[in-house]
Amino acid sequence: MPMAERRAEVIWEGNLVQGKGSVTKTGSGAFAAGLPVTWASRVERSDGRTSPEELIAMAHASCYAMALSHTLSEAGTPSTRLKVSAVVTVESVPGGIKVGESRLEVRGRVPGIDQARFEALARQGEQGCPISNALRGSVSILLKATLEG
């Protein structure tokens, strides 16, 4: 039985290249209705519109931040601050496009550990991130961890 379900609805009008879409509803209400999405926002310029890949990047960065926070706390070294970014790439492949990689970068303030320990715990946190685990096997996940002074 699922612990939780999260929902979103999208309306798409027109063909792929000239068409446009809009995230019309999210279960949480956290996003304003009418969040625009287009083909161009995926492969050209975003121009104020989002893309599925940007939403994956948002999900990956936030999920990883939570997973690493938990990993650090479980290790007895809770962080005071984690700044996580995710960059998701779109690649051209025969017959279409695919998500190629997600590059995670974390900068953390974690009292009482050194860079090597932070990197090890950062890798452990990535292994426990549900979004990483959903992507793993079809998307390359790269991680850079920097401990701030």
HSE-up of residue 106 (Cα within 13 Å, Cβ side):
30
**Residue with tokens 């079809």, as numbered in its chain:** 138
**Helical H segments across 95-145, by residue range:** 115-127, 130-135
- Own/partner contacts of 10-17, CB < 8 Å, gap of 24 or more, are 10/37
Fold of 52-147: GMP Synthetase; Chain A, domain 3 (3.30.300)
Q: How many CB atoms lie within 10 A of CB 29?
A: 8
Q: Percentage of the chain with pLDDT > 70?
A: 100
pLDDT bucket at 105, cuts 50 / 70 / 90: very high
pLDDT at residue 100 greater than cutoff 90: yes
pLDDT at residue 90 greater than cutoff 80: yes
pLDDT bucket at 130, cuts 50 / 70 / 90: very high
Tell me what pLDDT residue 31 has: 80
Tell me what pLDDT residue 109 has: 97
Q: What is the mean pLDDT of the chain?
A: 94
What are the sequence ranges of the domains in the chain? Answer: 8-43, 52-147
26-73 confidence digits (pLDDT tens): 888 888 778 899 999 988 888 889 999 999 999 999 999 999 999 999
**Residue with tokens 């879409």, as numbered in its chain:** 21
H or E element, residue 142: strand 140-147
